[in-house]
Chains A and B, each alone.
Chain A
Amino acid sequence: KQEVTQIPAALSVPEGENLVLNCSFTDSAIYNLQWFRQDPGKGLTSLLLIQSSQREQTSGRLNASLDKSSGRSTLYIAASQPGDSATYLCAVTPGNQFYFGTGTSLTVIP
């Protein structure tokens, strides 16, 4: 069964710092990996989706990479802002069902 792990579980950084969130998964047979943001009491917001044939995706200050063979993905956030404070989830799918990590709770301190 696919297991998804995210490290660290929580992270607190001063505003302006660049940071990296890590995601690892046990089964490399995935079709895509997706990063989500979840604000307290809110739903999921999709940030980036990486197809299994891709190595990375970028959107604004966010860059996600995928190394399928090693079962790893990273989410890089440049020049962090207080508004980036949220829980970040990564999820992988072999096609239909998503397997989610437990998330990294990020706090950006003004």
Chain B
Amino acid sequence: ETGVTQTPRHLVMGMTNKKSLKCEQHLGHNAMYWYKQSAKKPLELMFVYSLEERVENNSVPSRFSPECPNSSHLFLHLHTLQPEDSALYLCASSEEEGYYEQYFGPGTRLTVT
């Protein structure tokens, strides 16, 4: 059991929709991450939060908007996405930011039509 859960597991949305991805970690960690996994490309780090403060925003388009209301929950709000945003979105957590043993959730498979 990973200790990091993500919902929904699958999402299909149109380009004009607004949706949110949710991540929850039950490990008592202080840092949380969003990654994008596209076919044949390395995992791309999108956002890093440490103690609910955003510490890294890796040049991600503004159509992706993260929210971290507390150290256990992380959201990724999506609006006016493009078909090339279709990917697997992975959430991860670690004890502290920069503590490199990361625990990953199963991901949300997003398809933008």
**Is this pair of chains taken from one and the same complex?**
no
Which B residues are within 8 Å of any A CB, using their own CB? none
